[in-house]
Structure 1
Amino acid sequence: MTSSTPRTRLIATDLDGTLLCDGGTVSDRTAAALAAAEAAGIQVVFVTGRPPRWMQQVSAHIGGHGVAICSNGGAIVDVRRGELLESFPIAEGSVLAIVHALRAALPGVAFAFEHPRGWAREPGYELRMWGDDAEQAVDPAERLLADGRVAGVFKILAKHPSLDPDTFLTEARRAAGHLAEITRSAPVAMVEISALGVTKASTLASWCREQGIDRTEVVAFGDMPNDLEMLAWAGHSYAVANAHPEVLAAVTHHTTSNDQDGVATVVEELLKALEPR
């Protein structure tokens, strides 16, 4: 690191498929690297597609500030206190318009909704992940949206029973991309929908402005299409070896896979560069 290279002040990392091992855990090596970065004055921010309710598993590693950006930028969460600090909702009229547009173009699609009080789903939205069995409202989307049980939606999830995941993303963007940001991070046919202009990058950029951190002082890590905007925004970005082909092609710097502590490998090198010579 030369004197003309901006000092790293913030590490922004995706979780699943990037920082976490395939079993969803933080390895000892990665935990030590994150702790060392915080001790060196580098802020660590988790920037994830996960909803707020799924953050307890990594709360011990979030750093002194305790804040994570969740739901692809749709929410900022104080993980330690379990408190939603800010959310960026989809316009109320747009939620139903998105549902109708995707249903018309992609028969068989089913929906779930993240909102400040929790989440809700349609009966046809298949549960598959830990945490999905938390208390929720279950009804057709139109009924959920009409009776006030779902308000302030900051993320819509849509699943299709048979489409290829990348095909589903392409077709969903064609049908409703004018209404919202549509991306994907799961290995199944599931797309994740946020308000227009709301991405991991937009919320991270806002957080950094508040902290007085320039984008050139940010190092970012990711693996899936929902990370692309963040990786393009950050001054220095890395794709883990197991990343989606589109991410590997878009990012100049690569590191080893999530199961081989790819994030920790880079963080350790960053910290070595800070050591006095």
Structure 2
Amino acid sequence: MAPTRTLDLSRVQLIASDLDGTLIVGGFNAGKISPRTVSALHAIEKKGLRIIFASGRPTRTMIHAVDQAEGLEHLLCICCNGAQILDSHTRTIIKKFSIPPDHVRAIIKQVKTALGPHVLLAAESDVHYKSESGFDEQCGKVMQGKPVLVDNDPIEGFLKKPGSEEEDTVENLLLTHRTWPASQLYEFLQTQVFADPKWKSMIHLTFSSSHFVEICAAGVSKASALAYLCNKLDVDPINLIAFGDMPNDIEMLKFAGIAVAMGNAHESVKAIADLTTETNEEDGVAVVLEKIVQL
């Protein structure tokens, strides 16, 4: 956490924003960056400040947001809730924080033992998206991209590159329940499936959608990826402002010198924020960025 939490916008050097429900207008994984927000982002960059998109999105859907930003020159992207960092120019993953293979196996066995056929799994593995049959249908239209199906052997399927025996990495495991919303599944996983203290050293559990819960390696979050980038960019976190709306943004908001919740944010997010701006549909991020530009 940053050492102090005042609202001196003049000290801001770095902006980090969640996408869905925050920077973007419209539905999960399907919305757009509004013209007003695009204009504000370019004005921020012209002022000499750096911008980071920080999302639960994988690289394949992060690219859509990059394109909508219309040519930001120095944009960096945190994907999969901190498990991947994307260079928006080369469109390559420049850093990964993967779940160790033995942990992937243990997680899946634990989940399947507890919930059996009631839970379906998917994984973001480097640039590959893999899932059990029915995962996308269960999540409605929020997932994008055709998955590689791993029904014959989900555990090893997630850990092998498609059509190869070569090992693949897993940055993010996704879990959806056939009848429960993500909040209920999250609570059950925390209190029943992963209640043993040993799991705290193995996984980081969160959710940013009503459809699925996400698992990263222990210690991996948007905040940990921001800490890595702050070090690389030589920016003190006290000079970072962050915007978010869901529980997977909380670590990032606590890490930033200034934490901004959206008007539409989850109550747990508003509770730890320094200020609450307008909703994403009202260009709440742009409202604050325009104030920074005017300083």
Gaps of 5+ in 2: 1-5
Equivalent in 178, 197, 204 of residue 181 of structure 1: 204
In the other structure, the counterpart of 1:136 is 148
Residues 239 and 115 of structure 1: CA distance in aligned 2, closer, same or farther (over 3 Å): same
- Alignment of 1:253 with 2:275, yes or no, is yes
Are the aligned partners of 1:55 and 1:79 in contact in 2 as well (CA < 8 Å)?
A: no
Are the aligned partners of 2:75 and 2:88 in contact in 1 as well (CA < 8 Å)?
A: yes
Cα distance in 2, alignment partners of residues 172 and 78 from structure 1: 33
Are the aligned partners of 1:241 and 1:255 in contact in 2 as well (CA < 8 Å)?
A: yes
Gaps of 5+ in 1: none
Are the aligned partners of 2:104 and 2:155 in contact in 1 as well (CA < 8 Å)?
A: no
Equivalent in 36, 39, 46 of residue 46 of structure 2: 39
- Alignment of 1:72 with 2:81, yes or no, is yes
Cα distance in 1, alignment partners of residues 121 and 144 from structure 2: 13
Are the aligned partners of 1:59 and 1:80 in contact in 2 as well (CA < 8 Å)?
A: no
Matches within 5 A, 1:105-124: 105-107=114-116, 108-124=118-134
TM (normalized to structure 2)? 0.85
Residues 240 and 143 of structure 1: CA distance in aligned 2, closer, same or farther (over 3 Å): same
SS state at 1:84 partner: strand
In the other structure, the counterpart of 2:16 is 12
Cα distance in 2, alignment partners of residues 126 and 5 from structure 1: 41
- Alignment of 1:28 with 2:32, yes or no, is no
In the other structure, the counterpart of 2:233 is 211
Cα distance in 1, alignment partners of residues 184 and 48 from structure 2: 42
Residues 124 and 134 of structure 1: CA distance in aligned 2, closer, same or farther (over 3 Å): closer
Cα distance in 1, alignment partners of residues 142 and 260 from structure 2: 28
**Post-superposition offset of 1:220:** 0.2
Equivalent in 90, 105, 112 of residue 96 of structure 1: 105
TM (normalized to structure 1)? 0.91
Residues 266 and 145 of structure 1: CA distance in aligned 2, closer, same or farther (over 3 Å): closer
Equivalent in 186, 211, 217 of residue 169 of structure 1: 186
Are the aligned partners of 1:53 and 1:131 in contact in 2 as well (CA < 8 Å)?
A: no
RMSD of aligned residue pairs (Cα, Å)? 2.0
Matches within 5 A, 1:155-166: 155-166=172-183
* % same residue: 35
Which residue identity is paired with 2:179?
S
Are the aligned partners of 1:6 and 1:216 in contact in 2 as well (CA < 8 Å)?
A: no
Q: Across the two proteins, how many residue pairs are aligned to each other?
A: 270
- Alignment of 1:265 with 2:287, yes or no, is yes
